[in-house]
């Protein structure tokens, strides 16, 4: 719980300092930008295209018709040929250094004339193909230092409801326009940078933690939003002056957004809607790939692909909202958070669709950014809440695991007994903090000892608890420690029907050192190994018997083996032989036997260390064991 509190505190501090940094950027940037001044061109006039002729490279009105005053260079398009002329008076710039004019985005296509020369052209200037212009969002044009006042003329082609320019015209030194461009775009630019930062953080988190695809979908949704937002900034042109490429990136980011949202919802929903969300993102992925192929092949212009997408997006949004609303009615908190963001986006999205369908283009696109920001905020809240919840659960699990680990460690013999005529060593290496392997012993006198090794199916806390139950039952049966088959039979009767779906394999041996006899029994466990060093022979001491927990009526065979001076007994669990190497191969019984023979000159403790080292060497540096590893070495002296 302390770690969770620290995490929340650090998150709040990070958000606070990020906010302070953004505020500081605005303050410093505002002072810098305010020091760079330009003049706004406010006096405008216009004439329909049919009323203007070109003479000596300059436009002139027919029949000396007066130009019509207008507040700004934009009006409703009532011209039959879709052509309008606008003009504004440029003041005397003869003494200006590097005079220039800033031209904002035209509705469609335009030409700019000054002193009888065409300074700039945007689009094809083709009235038969009006909707295909994807020019720059702005242009800074140098002006000649000539004395006196002169007109700046603009010829506009537009098939939209409105014709003209979105934004203000400025005149001033070339370098004075850049700070103003950045200042005007500071909100959208900042928002785009935030989205890009979210993408980097979330994709790194996904790659480092290998979490589910929720973070993957969220990260690329953020990237799509960053590209979409940057497209609507004038600053983009400073970094990449390629209108066609920007339009392609914008279109692809727009087409991908529903795909990432559907993938996100597929990851967080656990109902029948998973399949529907999967189909939605697959359909949008197909449309995105098809659109890319169409644009690259030049079959049609990308602008026309928006309208089928809007229909597809509207249908997808309806299904998504319906599904999320059903979850809200069921009391799902995450669905309620997501619905708030999605509802805001759909509201502004439908507004933008209506604008596009009507043919009207105006500076309303930032409204869509509000909905997108709300949607990504809702998705971020869901992810943060999920992460905190997972973090808390993991912390609680680790606490429980540590408690269980301490309980289990208390059940493992801390010190092996000292028996005359034998030396012992043991190792217990759990797969997790808590394992299901067990070893223990009974001592009758200074010359007799009963040794048990067992392996509970499964891992973790359940296996450890059952191992503790097995240890208790083993100690209860101390009075029959000298009868291996009877001891395993009684353990089976006690534990069967009390372990749910778990089972236990076990091997037990009663060693009489003075008589040189080992009596043993086996319950489906790997055999006890007897290494006779005199002839370097390894014998597998097997006995018939079923795993503990299958049936209370199970019987176990009791067998004997002769023990002589110099022999080595090895009790072990299957985790030893099943240890996998970096190439995937198991350690196996053959390699195990080779290790036993190569370590015959070592004492019990040295051999235990030698075997542990070889197992780790086999597994590799970064390997994770697939099972608990336990073994007990008994040397007859």
Q: What is the DSSP string of 550-613?
A: S-TT--B--EEEE--TT-EEEEE-TTTTT-B-TTS-B-HHHHHHHHHHHTTTS-HHHHHHHHHH
User: Which residue, 327, 360, 391, sits at the end of a domain?
Assistant: 391
User: Does one domain contain both 327 and 190?
Assistant: yes
Asked whether residue 579 carries a pLDDT value surpassing 60, the answer given is: yes
User: Does one domain contain both 500 and 592?
Assistant: yes
* pLDDT at site 407: 67
* pLDDT at site 131: 45
525 located within any domain: yes
Q: How confident is the model at residue 435 (pLDDT cuts 50, 70, 90)?
A: low
Q: How far apart are CA 244 and CA 270, in angstroms?
A: 42
User: Does one domain contain both 567 and 629?
Assistant: yes
User: Which residue, 182, 206, 232, sits at the end of a domain?
Assistant: 182
Q: What is the CATH number of the domain that holds 471?
A: 3.60.40.10
Highest mean pLDDT: which of 176-185, 527-536, 583-592? 527-536
- The model's pLDDT over 260-279, given as tens digits with 9 standing for 90+, comes to 999 999 988 877 788 889 99
478 located within any domain: yes
Counting other chains too, the contacts that 117-124 makes at CB distance below 8 Å and 24 or more residues apart are 117/57, 118/57, 123/157
- The model's pLDDT over 32-57, given as tens digits with 9 standing for 90+, comes to 444 446 788 889 999 988 888 888 77
Q: What is the CATH number of the domain that holds 202?
A: 1.20.1070
Percentage of the chain surpassing pLDDT 90? 27
- Looking at per-residue pLDDT, the higher value among 400 and 230 belongs to 230
Asked whether residue 355 carries a pLDDT value surpassing 50, the answer given is: yes
User: Does one domain contain both 370 and 484?
Assistant: no
Can you tell me the mean pLDDT for 567-595? Answer: 87
Contacts of 383 (CB under 8 A, 6+ apart): 202, 214, 215, 218
* pLDDT at site 35: 45
Q: How confident is the model at residue 619 (pLDDT cuts 50, 70, 90)?
A: confident
Torsion of CA 466, 472, 476, 479, to 10 degrees: 90
* pLDDT at site 62: 83
* pLDDT at site 364: 44
403 located within any domain: no
Can you tell me the mean pLDDT for 521-537? Answer: 93
User: Does one domain contain both 473 and 580?
Assistant: yes
* pLDDT at site 32: 47
Mean pLDDT, all residues of the chain: 82
397 located within any domain: no
Q: In whole angstroms, how large is the CA radius of gyration of the chain? A: 40
User: Does one domain contain both 210 and 343?
Assistant: yes
Work out the angle at residue 463's Cα, subtended by the Cα atoms of residues 457 and 466, and round it to the nearest 5 degrees: 105
471 located within any domain: yes
197 located within any domain: yes
Asked whether residue 202 carries a pLDDT value surpassing 80, the answer given is: yes
Can you tell me the mean pLDDT for 411-431? Answer: 83
User: Does one domain contain both 134 and 201?
Assistant: no
User: Does one domain contain both 203 and 165?
Assistant: no
Q: How far apart are CA 257 and CA 222, in angstroms?
A: 9
Asked whether residue 571 carries a pLDDT value surpassing 90, the answer given is: yes
Cα 18 to its chain centre, rounded Å, is 22
Q: How far apart are CA 182 and CA 36, in angstroms?
A: 11
The domain total for the chain is 4
By residue range, what is the domain housing residue 609? 414-636
Percentage of the chain surpassing pLDDT 70? 84
430 located within any domain: yes
402 located within any domain: no
User: Does one domain contain both 324 and 200?
Assistant: yes
* pLDDT at site 517: 94
User: Does one domain contain both 490 and 578?
Assistant: yes
Q: How confident is the model at residue 133 (pLDDT cuts 50, 70, 90)?
A: very low
Are 22 and 197 in contact by the 8 Å Cβ rule? The answer is no
User: Does one domain contain both 190 and 241?
Assistant: yes
Tokens of 522: 């086996």
* pLDDT at site 625: 58
- The model's pLDDT over 8-22, given as tens digits with 9 standing for 90+, comes to 555 555 555 555 655
- The model's pLDDT over 77-89, given as tens digits with 9 standing for 90+, comes to 777 777 889 999 9
User: Does one domain contain both 290 and 425?
Assistant: no
Closest residue by Cα to residue 170 from 36, 69, 327, 314: 36
Q: What is the CATH number of the domain that holds 152?
A: 2.60.120.260
User: Which residue, 148, 182, 216, sits at the end of a domain?
Assistant: 182
């Amino acid at each position: 719980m302390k770690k969770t509190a620290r995490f929340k505190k650090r998150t709040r501090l990070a958000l606070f300092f990020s906010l302070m940094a953004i505020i500081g950027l605005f303050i410093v940037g505002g002072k810098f930008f305010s020091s760079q001044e330009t003049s706004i061109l406010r006096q405008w006039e216009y004439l329909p295209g049919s009323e203007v002729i070109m003479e000596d490279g300059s436009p002139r009105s027919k029949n000396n018709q007066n130009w019509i005053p207008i507040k700004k260079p934009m009006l409703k398009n009532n011209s039959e040929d879709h052509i309008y002329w606008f003009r504004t008076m440029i003041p005397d710039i003869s003494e200006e250094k590097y005079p220039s004019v800033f031209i904002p985005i035209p509705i469609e296509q335009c030409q700019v004339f000054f002193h009888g020369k065409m300074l700039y052209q945007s689009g094809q200037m083709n009235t038969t193909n009006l909707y295909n212009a994807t020019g720059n969002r702005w242009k800074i044009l140098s002006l000649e230092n000539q004395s006196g006042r002169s007109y700046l003329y603009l010829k506009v082609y537009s098939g939209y409801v409105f014709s003209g320019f979105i934004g203000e015209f400025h005149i001033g030194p070339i370098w004075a326009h850049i700070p103003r461009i950045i200042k005007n775009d500071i909100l959208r630019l900042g928002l785009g940078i935030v989205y890009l930062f979210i993408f980097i953080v979330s994709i790194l988190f996904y790659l480092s933690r290998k979490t589910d695809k929720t973070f993957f979908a969220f990260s690329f949704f953020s990237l799509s939003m960053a590209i979409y937002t940057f497209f609507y900034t004038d600053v983009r042109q400073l970094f990449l002056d390629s209108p066609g490429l920007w339009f392609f990136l914008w279109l692809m980011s727009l087409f991908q957004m529903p795909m990432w949202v559907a993938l996100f919802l597929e990851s967080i929903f656990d109902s029948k809607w998973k399949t529907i969300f999967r189909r939605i993102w697959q359909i949008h992925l197909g449309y995105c790939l098809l659109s890319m192929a169409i644009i690259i092949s030049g079959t049609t212009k990308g602008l026309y692909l928006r309208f089928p997408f809007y229909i597809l997006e509207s249908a997808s949004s309806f299904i998504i909202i319906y599904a999320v609303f059903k979850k809200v009615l069921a009391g799902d908190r995450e669905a309620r958070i997501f619905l708030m963001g999605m509802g805001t986006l759909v509201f502004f999205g439908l507004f933008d669709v209506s604008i596009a369908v009507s043919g009207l283009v105006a500076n309303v696109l930032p409204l869509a950014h509000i909905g997108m920001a709300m949607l990504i905020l809702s998705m971020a809240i869901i992810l943060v809440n999920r992460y905190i919840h997972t973090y808390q659960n993991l912390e609680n699990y680790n606490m429980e695991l540590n408690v269980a680990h301490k309980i289990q460690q208390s059940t493992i013999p801390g010190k092996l007994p000292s028996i005359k005529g034998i030396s012992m060593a043991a190792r217990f290496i759990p797969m997790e903090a808590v394992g299901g392997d067990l070893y223990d012993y009974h001592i009758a006198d200074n010359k007799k000892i009963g040794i048990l090794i067992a392996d509970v199916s499964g891992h973790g806390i359940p296996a450890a608890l059952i191992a503790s139950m097995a240890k208790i039952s083993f100690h209860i049966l101390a009075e029959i420690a000298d009868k291996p088959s009877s001891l395993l039979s009684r353990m089976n009767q006690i534990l069967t029907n009390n372990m749910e779906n778990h089972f236990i394999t076990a091997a037990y041996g009663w060693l009489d050192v003075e008589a040189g006899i080992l009596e043993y029994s086996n319950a489906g466990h790997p055999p006890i190994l007897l290494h006779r060093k005199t002839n370097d022979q390894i014998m597998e001491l097997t006995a018939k018997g079923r795993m503990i927990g299958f049936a209370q009526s199970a019987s176990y065979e009791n067998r004997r083996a002769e023990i002589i001076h110099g022999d080595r007994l090895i009790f072990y669990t299957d985790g030893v032989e099943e240890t996998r190497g970096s190439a995937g191969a198991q350690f196996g019984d053959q390699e195990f036997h080779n290790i036993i023979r190569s370590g015959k000159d070592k004492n019990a403790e040295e051999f235990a260390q030698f075997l542990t080292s070889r197992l780790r060497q086999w597994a590799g540096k970064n390997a994770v064991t697939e099972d608990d590893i336990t073994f007990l070495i008994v040397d007859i002296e």
